[in-house]
Chain A
Amino acid sequence: MKARIGGIVLVAAQLAAAQVTFDDLGRADPSNWLTYHGAYDGQRHSRLRQVNTGNVRGLAPKWIYQVPGAHRLESVPIVANGVMYVSEPNHVHALDARTGRLIWEYRERSVPERGANRGVAVYGNRVFVGTPDARLVALDARAGNKLWEVKLAEASEGYWCPVAPLALRDRIVVGIAPGDDGLNGFLDAYDAETGRRLWRWEAIPKPGEPGSETWAGDSWKTGGGDTWLTGTYDPALNLIYWGTGNPAPDFDGDVRKGDNLYTNAMVALDADTGRLRWHFQFTPHDVHDWDAVEIPVLVDAPFGGAPRKLLVQANRNGFYYVLDRRSGKFLLGTPFVKLLNWARGLSPEGRPIRVPGVEPTPQGNKVCPPTAGATNWMSPAYNPDTSYFYVSALEGCGISYKSHDTFLPGGFPYMATGYVESPEEPWQMHVRALELQTGKLVWDHIQVGSRAYGAGLLSTAGGLLFAGNDQGFLTAHDARTGKPLWHFNTGQQITASPISYAVRGTQYVAVAAGGNVVAFALHEGAGSGR
């Protein structure tokens, strides 16, 4: 039936209520997945329990959205009030999270694609996304209109932005890539309303600033230390925690003698000013490309007999770290992979006790874990019910080589060569559960046939741990034992982290696989554990 509609009253856009507030972000209602990590603490733990160990066998695909032209999405979908936002370089897609139907699509014109895009941030009625030419763009969350854009850095110098921004109170925090080209990293905060820059924290101190003494000569100028994964936030302390990338040139430390602060470090920044509160450097003077951007997970738990605000991280260098997130004090560090040959352990201050000679050479030298890392961008998870920390781990070694390199402005690799897989230790992916306070291995699931990393983890109050792999399998494990309870072959490599959300009483689990977003829910009639 068709009829003319008369008298539709139009109202001004600004009258519409803000959709996502700072309180919403802090509360992290489990029906939404409002930030890259689902919540500020980075635990990737959904409090939804409709899907649980008792019924997960009934989990079935509900819809698939194919992102046109995409083949390797690393986007973590964001869900706000029933709308899912998925990004890839130059594109944002807004989907009906219950049906997978497209609501709007935003396309950047004439910008060459570069690297990945790991997701958007939402705040108010706005969606924020980084671009391959190093801009931050604000879109209207309901219609996809571009509201403002700011240049983070000069794209012509080689900068780009794969980072999912982090929305705080009235401000958007975003990092930058790539340090491997000798471009120095920074972390920026922008006014969510206007796009005005509020502060910038530079990852590489300039001469005269504290930390500059850790760079020989002019090497700080091309020091790297970028900020390409999303950090976490403690609203009570008002501190942002962000991991920094490796120094450049990656494999040749001779030209940049010193500890090379603040590369390969965890930094705690005041969210209002961007000032450095404390730092902890995991791999001083790194020569293995071991970015420390892995997710800092914030947990309040007893440690040494007293309640403590902890920050834990499974680092690319193979160690699991427990820090006090008020002070940055090192509390514990222990390997979470068996293949680790570069350090004998950590000093009482957390500094690695290096094994002499385990570094890249012109002829090649075995280094375990390899440059790919014992883990990498794939997110870990923490389950407060089990008190286990979960991590996607790679067992393997690399043969690392070193040469001389000359810095070229414009975005060219400044790495002084690289690495190959060691043939003696075939790479193998694992999903592991560690005891939070000790790092002790609780369970270990071998992802048979998986030799390449990429897929992150999701914990749920249903007692489940969701993991993906390069073969396209999404798997649900018993969070206590690691036993696989359910699996599904999505048919495409998974290099993103799964999420969970709920619409109208139904819990969904969704993940980007290859060029698709796939959403699962309990098959109707399979029984529910509501």
Chain B
Amino acid sequence: MIGPILWLALQLGRGAAGPIDPAAAAEGRKLYNRDCTICHGLEGTVGDRAPALAGDRRFLRSSAEELYDAIRNGIRGTGMPPSPLADAEVQNVVAYIRSLRAPAADTVVAGDSERGAAVFWGKGDCGRCHMVRGRGGILGPDLSNIGGERRPAALRDALTRSGRRLPRGYRPVKIRMRDGRAIEGLVKNEDSFSLQVLGARDLQLHLLDRSEAAEVIYSDHSLMPSDYARRLTAAEIDDLLAFLARQVDGRPQP
């Protein structure tokens, strides 16, 4: 059994990891949008005089202590001044900034994860390609830890925005072989001489020499649809996001 104080110390030691108190983050959001946006942008976006606090950019100051120190004491040599906020208020702003960067699992996501599971395996048909905890398909990435890896905004983008970057190992390809065979699938790996392809139809690996291919046609468009805003209702998308946010390796299944 791990004591609460030790637990807290571990969470602080891990920096940005660990659950975030949603109430504190909500309070912090109000304070942030009131006091910080003269330099930083609204809702953590880039501002006129200071950088965005949300997003994928890696900041030197990312742990709760570092953020607290920057707000409480300012950052010398920059335009970041010490804050006049009370300590508890600073902690709330820290919670909000961490929530901007936190993976979905550590944030409060609207929606019902049980209904989201039904969407995942049912109407959304996500399990055709994606696996969660040993169930589902193998063409798409395994989502068993997706809640621990992606921010909520990135999850929403994946469902609703086209033109996303293809992750390595998932680029679609159509190969016409010199012997007349046609292979369609995903490029798991490739080089100037060989291709390692997971067949989209037979779900088997095809390990090919490039010299045996008459034509290799790549696609820049993921097999993953991006029109879930049309396929699903707004509530269903929220539910699906809630389900995905709960998927973390090593945590009990919802």
> Complex: how many Å from CA A208 to CA B216?
69
Within the complex, what minimum Cβ distance (angstroms) separates B11 from chain A?
15
B134 within 8 A of A: yes
A16 within 8 A of B: yes
B203-A9 in contact (CB<8A): no
Residue of A with least CB distance to B173 = A5
> Complex: how many Å from CA A104 to CA B207?
13
* The stretch of A143-151, A420-428, A450-458, A485-493 that contacts the partner chain: A143-151
B166 within 8 A of A: no
A1 within 8 A of B: yes
Known: A1-B215, A8-B200. A13 touches B207 (CB 8 A): no
A2-B220 in contact (CB<8A): yes
Q: Which of the residues A10, A96, A103 comes within 8 Å of B223, measured between beta carbons?
A: A10
B196-A96 in contact (CB<8A): yes
B138-A142 in contact (CB<8A): yes
Per the 8 Å Cβ criterion, residues 386-400 of A in contact with B are: none
Known: A82-B207, A99-B207, A101-B196. A5 touches B191 (CB 8 A): no
Within the complex, what minimum Cβ distance (angstroms) separates B100 from chain A?
24
Residue of B with least CB distance to A9 = B201
A1-B217 in contact (CB<8A): yes
> Complex: how many Å from CA A17 to CA B200?
14
Within the complex, what minimum Cβ distance (angstroms) separates A75 from chain B?
20
> Complex: how many Å from CA A101 to CA B188?
10
Known: A10-B223, A13-B136, A101-B191. A142 touches B203 (CB 8 A): yes
Interface size, chain B (Cβ < 8 Å): 42
Contact string against A for B residues 214-247, beta-carbon threshold 8 Å, 1 for contact and 0 otherwise? 0111111101000000000000000000000000
Known: A101-B191, A145-B138. A3 touches B217 (CB 8 A): yes
Within the complex, what minimum Cβ distance (angstroms) separates A92 from chain B?
14
Residues of B within 8 A of A142 (CB): 138, 198, 203-205
Known: A2-B220, A145-B131. A103 touches B201 (CB 8 A): no
Residues of A within 8 A of B200 (CB): 8-10
B138-A140 in contact (CB<8A): yes
A12 within 8 A of B: yes
A145-B172 in contact (CB<8A): no
Residues of A within 8 A of B145 (CB): 109
Within the complex, what minimum Cβ distance (angstroms) separates A455 from chain B?
29
Residues of A within 8 A of B223 (CB): 8, 10
Within the complex, what minimum Cβ distance (angstroms) separates B144 from chain A?
7
Contact string against A for B residues 159-203, beta-carbon threshold 8 Å, 1 for contact and 0 otherwise? 000000000010011100000000010001111011010101111
A13-B219 in contact (CB<8A): no
A10-B205 in contact (CB<8A): no
Residues of B within 8 A of A96 (CB): 189, 194, 196, 207
Interface size, chain A (Cβ < 8 Å): 36
Residues of A within 8 A of B173 (CB): 5
A2, A19, A98, A143: most-surrounded residue (chain B CB, <10 A): A143
> Complex: how many Å from CA A9 to CA B203?
11
A363 within 8 A of B: no
Residues of B within 8 A of A143 (CB): 138-139, 142, 198
> Complex: how many Å from CA A142 to CA B185?
13
Residues of B within 8 A of A17 (CB): 204
B137-A13 in contact (CB<8A): yes
Within the complex, what minimum Cβ distance (angstroms) separates A289 from chain B?
36
A8-B184 in contact (CB<8A): yes
Residues of B within 8 A of A148 (CB): 134
A83 within 8 A of B: yes
A10-B188 in contact (CB<8A): no
Known: A2-B217, A2-B218, A103-B188. A13 touches B172 (CB 8 A): no
Contact string against A for B residues 139-160, beta-carbon threshold 8 Å, 1 for contact and 0 otherwise? 1001011000000000000000
A306 within 8 A of B: no
B138-A103 in contact (CB<8A): no
Within the complex, what minimum Cβ distance (angstroms) separates A142 from chain B?
6
A3-B189 in contact (CB<8A): no
Per the 8 Å Cβ criterion, residues 317-332 of A in contact with B are: none
B250 within 8 A of A: yes
A19, A104, A110: most-surrounded residue (chain B CB, <10 A): A104
Residues of B within 8 A of A2 (CB): 217-220
Residues of B within 8 A of A408 (CB): none
B142-A145 in contact (CB<8A): yes
A102 within 8 A of B: yes
Given A16-B203, A143-B138, output 20 extra A-B contacts at Cβ < 8 Å: A1-B215, A3-B219, A5-B217, A10-B137, A10-B200, A10-B223, A13-B137, A15-B203, A16-B204, A82-B207, A96-B189, A101-B189, A101-B190, A104-B188, A110-B250, A138-B134, A142-B198, A143-B198, A144-B142, A146-B142
A-B contact pairs, 10 of them (CB 8 A): A2-B220, A5-B219, A10-B137, A11-B202, A19-B204, A96-B194, A101-B194, A109-B250, A138-B134, A146-B133
